[in-house]
Amino acid sequence: PSASTPKPAAEPSQSPLNPKARKPPLVVPSHPPPKPSPPPQQEKKHDAAAAPAGEAVGRRLRVYWPLDDAWYEGTVDAYDGGSRRHRVKYDDGEEEEVDLVKEKFEWAAEEATPPPARKLRRLRRMSDTAKAKSPSVQEDEETGDSTEDEDWKKGAAPEDDSEEEVELDDEEEEVVAVSSRKGKSRNSLSTSASVSTLRSTSGLGSASSGSTLSKKRKQVDVGALDCAKKFSFQLANTPEKAEMKVPPSCDRRERILENAHLALTGDLSERFGSRQTEKFTFLGQGRKDAKGRRPGDPAYDPRTLFLPSQFLKNLTGGQRQWWEFKSQHMDKVLFFKMGKFYELYEMDAHVGAKELDLQYMKGDQPHCGFPEKNLAVNLEKLAQKGYRVLVVEQTETPDQLELRRRETGTKDKVVRREICAMVTKGTLTEGESLLANPDPSYILSVAESYPCSSTNSQDGHTIGVCIIDVSTSKFIIGQFQDDPERHVLCSILSEIRPVEIIKPAKMLSAETERALKNNTRDPLINGLLPSTEFWDAEKTIHAIEQYYSSSDNLTASRNTVGVQNNVGCLPDLLSELIEAGDRVYALSALGGSLFYLKQVLLDDKLLPCAEFEPLTCSGLINNMRKHMILDAAALENLEILENATGGLSGTLYEQLNHCVTGFGKRMLKRWIVRPLYDCKAIQQRQGAIAIFKGVGHECAMQFRKDLCRLPDMERLLAHLFSRCGENGRSKSVVLYEDTAKRLLKQFTAALRGCQQMFQACSSIRVLTGTEGSSLLNDLLSPGKGLPDVSSILDYFRDAFDWSEADHNGRIIPLEGCDPEYDATSCAIEEIESSLQEYLKEQRKLLKDSSVKYVNVGKDTYLIEVSESLRGSVPNDYELQSTKKGVCRYWTPEVKQLISELSKVATDKESILKGILQKLIHLFIEHHSKWRQLVSVAAEIDVLVSLSIAGDYFEGPTCCPTIRELCGPDDTPTFHARNLGHPIIRSDSLGKGSFVPNNINMGGPGNASFIVLTGPNMGGKSTLLRQVCLTIILAQIGADVPAENLELSLVDRIFVRMGARDHIMAGKSTFLVELMETASVLSSATKNSLVALDELGRGTSTSDGQAIAASVLDYLVQRVQCLGLFSTHYHKLAVEHEDDKVSLCHMACQVGTGEGGLEEVTFLYRLTAGSCPKSYGVNVARLAGIPASVLQRANEKSIDFEASYGKRCCATKDKAICTQEDNFTTIKDLFRVVKAGNHQGDQATSLSRIREVQMRARAQAMEA
């Protein structure tokens, strides 16, 4: 049927997705461009009828395609008498079966002629007048279904918002909506043969049998078009033999995306609930990944999807493009750029509606979207909720598409698009969360030596890690030996809490996998193919050498922190790792992270200005211990960084955090989790803090005032570095928002921030002559600690007006900033001067001083002459326009000057457009100095914060005296007078007040270990935490809440506190307790502090007491470290009273209450001697246990104590077990726990533990 012929309403609308109505009618604009008129329909029908079916075979013809507004030549290849259809084979290779009686066609000459170039036609939504001229459009609008919108609902609007009539201005397959939106309303961009949007399923199954109709003009190989950048985890020149099973977590997240429609309710469920099952059968039972593997296959990859050829054949170009992207990234939400909007379709639309509060558009296809300006906000929202988001940008305009089609002859109908970003929790580089929350979102890459046998699995493992903070371009790389329980790895995980983990799939040991699972909080897991994707050391070395030796990165590498001066060299840390030769696992971890960054398009953004640091959590740098070790148990039990619920309330970090900058807060966290193990360094910090508390107090307050309004400079600089030049998004990306203005604001903010930091740090330089200011001298000495950036800042101040640039949104360089710009400005001035001189000459020539230049529209420098002088003007005057009383002329000289002026002005504008990038490049050349400036400002911010924190302690504070042990006979010490609590204050205790205590451990006349007893709730655990936190404070360099404190350096704090189990790991409370105790026994040194709270509570009294006694003996006699051992085993306390163990208890007063029950008043005072009992019934009373139960419990308690006392008297003179027997028991315990963690048979492990329990019980009975 003709494009202008109305069709009955009952007929299906003509759409590329409807085989029975293959060619949609052509919607004619109000003023169509001239075109060749198609031959009359009657003539064609007559020709078809006149040609017998058999005779038509072999003849050449031209068929008119109304949508393309073009004729295509071909040959009638065959005829089907049953369906009365001819098969036409076109000259471009495509075939279709058509009924010639119903088609526009004409017989062609027998010689084949090249097909004419297709003329593109813009399809527009018509005005009311135009619609009235098209009955087909009228009928479709009345039924609510536009023929143009058959595929993806072009012109669709939100259900509850009206939409203005607008034009969709684009080429055949790409319609860019330039529309007026009310609320969330807008034109949905569509793709039939005329629009490139996405409704992929309408009519997919409606093709009649035997029909080979194409759903668009030409079936195009998307891969050949290069319309989408391929985004896969397959390296070039890499054999595809190795396969990978994607981690279950990735599979789970991918299922959440695909099953989003199952969570719909109400009207939405009725509208979309069955769509996916009915339309996309390949997502159900017959699902395959991109390589055709089914879910049962071990190498099945749920991130990809196999698309059936018939499904692809039924798609339009835009639909196919979207599915090509989606099928390779089923685990991600696609933000698909369409003109000025990012669109979400199908399963992604459900996520957008649920998580972003976007509104579904009309139609039976899930579809929603948002404008370009909201990209950063919505990226951040989805990323923070754990989604992976793929940003697919438009890299070609419709005009560029048309030009490409004319130049290359391609028949592409869809503009090119590319993946320009893949955003997750760990790869966010901008957003409100980064401004509000200074905490880094770390990505952790892990590699390890894979054990070959169960025997080797019990030995130490080598683990390599690479920790990345994308927001600051920081890489922390290291390798360490870890024990079977992965305590070092667990410590790292507890400290950084990574939001993403990169690992070689199926290559990590069970113990490492368990550590990753138990010490993180639902991170994204990225399992990479070993060697191919998770590179080994050799591939990593090759990759980084290739990168840093490339010509594009020579400048960056020269200016990178810690880089040698040789051309093409590596950063110092990478060079050391390579030269060491045995750091293969650290390099492999780096390789895995580099591959991942490459896939998320961040490698080129981060590496040029990356900051590489060595891993220091092990406490060793250059074989010298520099930091105290706090393992995962210590960080969690002492609530150093976060409390049990993951918050900050009651943590040491909250108590000390008075920093005013985000980069200072991050440095403070690093200081807290890595206290110093160097007396000189600690004393330097103490001196600086003392200055800020004393003579430098005013300077410190002014410093805080100067920096309190600064943005997070560390992140801002890193973001600016990544946005420069080629590091930004592809230059071909089509953007409608002015991103240059935003970049300019970030640049000026960075300049102002650097200036403020430099001035604030310089103002403190007056304190460098103060006593005890050696650290401040090192920090603030120009060129040594504080970089000399004054001349650089002066250059940028003289280059342009920062305030004016912010106001105008562009940089106007001042004189001397840019020679090219200055040259063009001078050239313009000279030309303008020549024009003025020429004007003076014309005034003399015409003898009229009123002759002047005027501008009329785009015509400039018109010589305006009075009409009375019209007869006197020279012959070379060219009349351009007239006005009452005047005439306006150009002369050849003026035209020449105007031409020169226009050229120079164009050059000047071009220079202005590039001046921002040029200045940013100059700024980034000094990026190492800017980073050093941030580091100095952060350290001063932390020192000032620690000086302020002391004012928040309750009671007296002091600067602790710290000493190093002089020799093997020197004993560790801890002597505190009136020690308060670093965190607890009386105002948080209600009616009571905190009671300080004197604590003495080690040194002459003092036992090194305190065995602490006392009533339940008497304050034993609080005292243990109090001592541990005080030592951490002291070795950070801060003041402590005490009248006086003397201590020796502590290399590690072990804390075993509370009852915890790991049910999912198959570990009971008692087993967890024994495993932690085994770690203490195997790792503690003479310089360590051990704090054990109620060891042995997880089993029977006899077993627990025996194990506790053996552990205590081992620590006191063999390790000889400082320690506190709280217990309710009162017999244990009595038996260990000697010169190495001090018996103490938390004092209380006991009275008689109602019903004869004991009432205990807690005094919280550390007192010498053992407490006679624990008074557990008193705690039961406080908990509200019924009086009858309490009375019965009290009676039972008296009976048990009487029985226990008799047995004690009977065995009073029996010899106790020897220390060697105790040590043997400890060794057996250590062996069992160590072996049990690797034992596949749980029953065997339990039997071994029972064996040790029986031995411990026997020793206890003998005692």
Phi-psi region of 1118 (alpha: psi -120 to 50; beta: other; left: phi over 0): alpha
In a domain, 212, yes or no: no
Q: Is 37 found in the same domain as 55?
A: yes
In a domain, 795, yes or no: no
Select the more confidently predicted residue: 732 or 561: 732
Read off the pLDDT of residues 892-907 as tens digits, 9 standing for 90 and up.
999 999 999 999 999 9
pLDDT range class, residue 652, cuts 50, 70, 90: very high
Tell me the mean pLDDT in the region 1169-1198: 75
Q: What residue has token string 């411990």?
A: 1256
Name the phi and psi angles at 1041, rounded to 5. -80, 80
The answer, as to whether pTM is greater than 0.85, is: no
**Within the chain, how many helices (H) and strands (E) appear?**
42, 35
Read off the pLDDT of residues 495-541 as tens digits, 9 standing for 90 and up.
999 999 999 988 999 999 999 998 998 899 999 989 899 999 999 99
Select the more confidently predicted residue: 610 or 25: 610
Res. 448: pLDDT tops 60: yes
Tell me the mean pLDDT in the region 53-77: 80
Select the more confidently predicted residue: 193 or 854: 854
Cα 1155 from chain centroid (whole Å)? 62
Read off the pLDDT of residues 1048-1069 as tens digits, 9 standing for 90 and up.
999 999 998 765 545 545 566 6
Read off the pLDDT of residues 390-428 as tens digits, 9 standing for 90 and up.
999 999 889 999 999 999 888 888 999 999 999 999 999
Res. 754: pLDDT tops 90: yes
Distance between CA 583 and CA 825 in Å, rounded?
A: 57
pLDDT for 697 = 93
Q: Could you list the residue range(s) of the whole structural domain that residue 859 is in? A: 819-910
In a domain, 705, yes or no: yes
pLDDT range class, residue 816, cuts 50, 70, 90: confident
Read off the pLDDT of residues 1002-1020 as tens digits, 9 standing for 90 and up.
988 889 999 988 887 888 8
Range picked from 98-102, 1009-1013, 1024-1028 for highest mean pLDDT = 1024-1028
Distance between CA 887 and CA 866 in Å, rounded?
A: 6
Distance between CA 73 and CA 88 in Å, rounded?
A: 9
* Rg (alpha carbons) of the chain, rounded to whole number: 40
Q: Residue 678 burial (CB < 10 Å; 0-12/13-18/19+)?
A: middle
pLDDT range class, residue 1262, cuts 50, 70, 90: low
Distance between CA 1153 and CA 1220 in Å, rounded?
A: 47
Distance between CA 421 and CA 342 in Å, rounded?
A: 13
Distance between CA 1127 and CA 792 in Å, rounded?
A: 64
Name the phi and psi angles at 1122, rounded to 5. -80, 150
Tell me the mean pLDDT in the region 652-676: 95
Lowest-confidence range among 969-978, 1027-1036, 1247-1256? 1247-1256
In a domain, 1092, yes or no: yes
Number of domains in the chain: 6
pLDDT for 948 = 95
Share of the chain above pLDDT 70, in %: 72
Long-range contacts formed by 875-881: CB under 8 A, 24+ apart: 880/856, 881/856
Tell me the mean pLDDT in the region 908-915: 90
pLDDT for 1235 = 55
Distance between CA 495 and CA 1134 in Å, rounded?
A: 39
CATH number of the domain encompassing residue 1194: 3.40.50.300
Considering 431, 458, 483, which residue would you say is the last residue of a domain?
A: 431
Q: Is 304 found in the same domain as 231?
A: yes
Considering 431, 458, 482, which residue would you say is the last residue of a domain?
A: 431
Read off the pLDDT of residues 1125-1143 as tens digits, 9 standing for 90 and up.
888 776 776 666 677 888 8
Q: Is 1118 found in the same domain as 973?
A: yes
pLDDT range class, residue 33, cuts 50, 70, 90: very low
Read off the pLDDT of residues 936-956 as tens digits, 9 standing for 90 and up.
999 999 999 999 999 999 889
Res. 368: pLDDT tops 50: yes
Of all helices (H) and strands (E), which one includes residue 448? Answer: strand 443-448
* The two structure tokens encoding residue 664: 């200072």
Number of residues written out for the chain: 1263
Select the more confidently predicted residue: 537 or 450: 537
Range picked from 30-34, 51-55, 851-855 for highest mean pLDDT = 851-855
In a domain, 185, yes or no: no
Q: Is 346 found in the same domain as 483?
A: no
Select the more confidently predicted residue: 1010 or 1157: 1010
pLDDT for 1251 = 63
- Cβ count within 10 A of residue 777: 17
Read off the pLDDT of residues 201-244 as tens digits, 9 standing for 90 and up.
333 333 333 333 333 333 333 333 333 333 333 333 333 333 33
CATH number of the domain encompassing residue 228: 3.40.1170.10
DSSP 264-309: --HHHHHHHTTHHHHH-GGGTTT---TTS--TTSTT--TT--PPPH
Q: Is 668 found in the same domain as 632?
A: no
Distance between CA 175 and CA 338 in Å, rounded?
A: 8
Q: Confirm if 1031 and 974 have CB atoms less than 8 A apart.
A: yes
pLDDT for 6 = 39
Q: Is 574 found in the same domain as 521?
A: yes
Distance between CA 452 and CA 441 in Å, rounded?
A: 34
Distance between CA 1236 and CA 1251 in Å, rounded?
A: 13
Considering 397, 431, 465, which residue would you say is the last residue of a domain?
A: 431
Q: Is 897 found in the same domain as 880?
A: yes
Q: Is 456 found in the same domain as 350?
A: no
Share of the chain above pLDDT 90, in %: 38
CA count, 13 A, side-chain hemisphere, 632: 19
pLDDT for 1228 = 61
Look over the chain and give the mean of its residue pLDDT values, rounded to a whole number: 77
Lowest-confidence range among 476-490, 669-683, 691-705, 1146-1160? 1146-1160
pLDDT for 654 = 95
pLDDT for 315 = 87
Q: Is 1245 found in the same domain as 1184?
A: yes
The H-assigned helical ranges of 800-853 are: 802-808, 819-846
In a domain, 184, yes or no: no
Q: Is 859 found in the same domain as 766?
A: no
Which residues of 1105-1260 form beta strands (DSSP E)?
1122-1126, 1141-1152, 1158-1168
Q: Confirm if 353 and 360 have CB atoms less than 8 A apart.
A: yes
pLDDT for 1033 = 97
In a domain, 1139, yes or no: yes
Q: What residue has token string 């627990």?
A: 1104
Q: Is 941 found in the same domain as 871?
A: no
Tell me the mean pLDDT in the region 248-276: 69
Distance between CA 1222 and CA 1233 in Å, rounded?
A: 17
In a domain, 182, yes or no: no
CATH number of the domain encompassing residue 603: 3.30.420.110
Select the more confidently predicted residue: 1005 or 181: 1005
CATH number of the domain encompassing residue 866: 1.10.1420.10
Tell me the mean pLDDT in the region 963-974: 85
Q: Confirm if 638 and 1055 have CB atoms less than 8 A apart.
A: yes
Q: Is 1047 found in the same domain as 1031?
A: yes
- Cβ count within 10 A of residue 78: 14
Determine the longest span between alpha carbons in the chain, in angstroms.
Answer: 142
pLDDT range class, residue 330, cuts 50, 70, 90: very high
Lowest-confidence range among 443-447, 532-536, 1041-1045, 1198-1202? 1198-1202
pLDDT for 1060 = 55
